[in-house]
Chain A
Amino acid sequence: MRKSDLSDNELVTEFISGNESSLEILLNRHQRKIFTSILLLVRDRELAEDLFQETFIKVINTLRSGNYHEEGKFLPWVSRIAHNLVIDYFRRQKKMPMVRDTDEFSIIGNIRLTDENIEDKIVTDQIHHDVRRLIDLLPDEQREVVIMRHFADMSFKEIAEQTNVSINTSLGRMRYALINLRKLIKERELVLVK
């Protein structure tokens, strides 16, 4: 069996036993979902990079200290750590997130592009950017459910528990979020396919 075929739990066990490469696989497997959820919450790429690093430093320390007991639920656990760090950050700042419109340039700047795929990459990045902007426009409670369900892999039952509402409320928020996204696309006449 290849190491990349191991489950999250098996990789966690290996990492705790001292196998450093297991962490790299876990990171590769979940980095996009965790980073995107942080970015959607803070709306600032530089800050999201800092909080992403902080999240994994906490993950590493917690795993090594033997305090990880979330069998089979690695991604939701990491996402909760990230979410709490975001809340802590805004508590310290005592302000709501500000939008710094810088991320599209850093995305493109971080990718080495060849002449053949440059146009394709730019179009893809623009679609990703537009979708994130649309999610940004959702009311906070709807955006939170979208992030938790899509990028933290939490069930609606888990989302309801985490946000202290009933399952029906979290389902209703998701329904309105999805309907609102469709409305926003129509209003703005966005084309979000290549």
Chain B
Amino acid sequence: MVQTFTPTNLVLYLYNETAMTESVLIQKSIDNDPAVEEEFECIKKAANLVDKALTSPSAKSIRAILEYSRKTALVQ
């Protein structure tokens, strides 16, 4: 299969930023070319992993922000 896109287009596709026609072409390539499939699986797994970094601020910070908002609202 003749590849009509660059590896960076795979990144755009992963993050749902490709146009519909381009998405169809890229998905076909992933389905039919093991090298493209391997690259796509690699970046997809890493992207899923990044979301595991999410963590919360302390309850104290949230309280301080809401308190600031309430106090300054009364002044206005």
Residues of A participating in the B interface, judged by any CB pair closer than 8 Å: 18, 20, 23-24, 27, 31-33, 35-36, 39-40, 48-49, 52-53, 56-57, 60-61, 64, 103, 106-107, 110, 127-128, 131-132, 134-135, 146, 149-151, 155-156, 168, 171-172, 174-175, 177-179, 181-182, 185, 192
Contacts and interface: CB of A to CB of B under 8 A. Distances in A.
Contacts, number: 111
B20 interface: no
Contacts of A172: 8
Secondary structure type dominating chain B contacts: helix
Q: Which A-B residue pairs are the 9 nearest by beta carbons?
A: A171-B8, A178-B46, A35-B57, A178-B43, A131-B53, A181-B46, A56-B65, A131-B52, A132-B53
Contacts of A103: 55
Contact-residue bracket for chain B: 35 or more
Contacts of B51: 150
B64 A53 contact: yes
B12 interface: yes
